[in-house]
Amino acid sequence: MKINKKIIKELSDYLEEFNLTELEYTEKDTKIKVSKNNISVTNQNIPSQKTEINNLDDNLSKKTKTGIEVKSPIIGTAYHAPEPGAKKFVEVGKKIKKGDTVMIVEAMKTMNHVPSTADGVVKEICVEDGQPVEFGQNLLILD
């Protein structure tokens, strides 16, 4: 069996270009699997997975905002206004009181109003209008 180095080189380039960790290519009876974690195709300095995780942790800690976090009570789709084109519930800089509706999270065709958990001024809106959200995901940060 002849190994086609050109295909392996191409696949390893795709790993970098598309920020993938593994890629598999099959043609007829030939199967090639290239992975950052298991093999090194060239002598390039490829960062280890542990290094990448440490860098992510550093970046997250730098981006962590201080303030009161208002989190999503359910999984669904977050909306900033009661209907398309209507006035948004909150804007950055707006003063809100505990219990005020800050967003709607739609789940299974049910619109769930999300109340503020504290008094404060909106420092940051963490999700885009119409964006899917997870349980416990930050929706707002208050000062």
| Integer CA distances (angstroms), 23 to 36, 46, 81, 143, in order | 9, 16, 42, 45
Residue 65: per-residue pLDDT: 55
Mean pLDDT, residues 31-60: 52
DSSP secondary structure string, the chain? ----HHHHHHHHHHHHHTT-SEEEEEETTEEEEEETTT--SSS--PPPHHHHHHHHHHHHHHHPPPSEEEE-SSSEEEESSSSTTSPPS--TT-EE-TT-EEEEEEETTEEEEEE-SS-EEEEEE-S-TT-EE-TT-EEEEE-
Q: What type of residue is 72?
A: S
Residue 44 has pLDDT above 80, yes or no: no
CB 135 within 8 A of CB 75: yes
Q: What is the pLDDT of residue 125?
A: 92
Residue 58: pLDDT above 70?
no
pTM over 0.85: no
Has residue 39 got a pLDDT over 70?
no
The arithmetic mean of pLDDT across residues 20-39, rounded, is: 74
Q: What percent of the chain has pLDDT over 90?
A: 44
Is residue 78's pLDDT more than 90? yes
Q: Is the pLDDT of residue 56 over 70?
A: no
Max distance between CA atoms of the chain, in angstroms, equals 72
Euclidean distance between CA atoms 12 and 38, whole angstroms: 12
Cα 141 from Cα 118, distance rounded (Å): 10
Residue 106's pLDDT is 93
Question: Topology of 68-142 in CATH?
Answer: OB fold (Dihydrolipoamide Acetyltransferase, E2P) (2.40.50)
Which pLDDT tens digit goes with each residue over 102-142? 999 999 888 999 999 999 999 999 999 999 999 989 999 99
The residue that leads in pLDDT, 55 or 21, is 21
Domain coordinates in residue numbering, the chain: 5-63, 68-142
Question: 51 near 80, Cβ under 8 Å?
Answer: no
